[in-house]
Amino acid sequence: MTAFFITGTDTEIGKTFVTCTLLHAARARGLKAVGMKPVAAGAETIQGELINEDAARLRAAGSFDPGLALLNPYCLASPIAPHIAAAEEGVRIEAGRILAAFDELTRQADVVFVEGVGGFRVPLDAGYDTADLACDLALPVILVVGMRLGCINHALLTAEAIQARGLRLAGWIANQVDPAMLRFQENLDALRLRMEAPLLGVVPFQPGGEAASAAASVSLPA
């Protein structure tokens, strides 16, 4: 079994899309792959289930449906910061529940991609954030860089934060979220020069969000 923690340089930079792309890439290699979204904020009730859109996309992209209890242990209704949503909804986010769900997924799949929330350090309660969760999971990290103005600073700071926690940055993926970004190639080259991890792929702008068609643009870490 192999697993990775997927984080991003910010919110709304295509982290879920890239995670789905990695799922399709793993499946194309014959691996039984599944995604996990431990905490999600923003959901609606569909056929009696409270479902987050990102979790639904991961469920559709995986090799099998493990059920939302494992794929998305904490689903919060309000589309706001998860620690605020949890407090308002009377939910206590506990690492043990997440780790138990992750352990079960590792027994069912060859590879598990665990997608965080927003950037690397998003609070989950008063004293616990997504960086702490990544450490508890003890997984190598894949960083999704949303290619837009400011991405170099965001990527380098996030990479430093990952390494400061003693985690291994297994690689990074450049996701072209802004098709009109000026000097895209120059920004990509600057990141390749400075990032101390392999570039696993450059995902072109996908207005339709077809992760399966983008799978050929990424590679799994060695």
Active centre residues (catalytic): 37
> 184 phi and psi, to 5 degrees?
-55, -50
Closest CA to 173 of 121, 117, 135, 214: 214
Beta pairing, strands 123-125 & 128-129 = antiparallel
* Rounded Cα–Cα distance for residues 217 and 106 (Å): 26
Distance CA 35, CA 157 (A): 26
Q: Taking a C-beta distance cutoff of 8 angstroms, is the pair 10, 154 a contact?
A: yes
Dmax over CA atoms of the chain, in Å, equals 49
Q: Which two tokens stand for residue 8?
A: 């991003």
